[in-house]
Amino acid sequence: MASKKFLELQDYSDTDLHSELESTEAQYQKLKFDHAIRGLDNPLVLREVRRDIARLKTEIRRRELAKEEAETGLGHRSKIRARRRREK
């Protein structure tokens, strides 16, 4: 089952994703600095922010791959799959 955050990210535009990624990375750097200097009340926040960054990067990459796949088509990929099926 997909998480709520993942489903929300699918509604964002490409520019929104990139701006959200920049702000989240800046937030993570600030939290890391604060944690090193004086400590955080809840250090698990760092994990959540890291995972949010990973979700954003994953969605950006998924969209890049989808665009590349649409441009190149499925012809080459289907030939590779057919060859793999014959080898088995």
Q: What is the pLDDT of residues 7-30, one digit of tens each?
A: 888 888 999 999 999 999 999 999
pTM over cut 0.85: no
CB within 8 A of 14, min separation 6: which ones? 60, 63
Assign domain 13-87 to a CATH class: mainly alpha
- Nearest residue to 63 via CA among 4, 25, 11: 11
Three-state DSSP state, 38: coil
Domain regions of the chain by residue span: 13-87
Residue 74 has a pLDDT of 60
**pLDDT score of 54 more than 80:** yes
pLDDT in tens, 30-40: 999 999 999 98
Rg (CA), the chain: 19
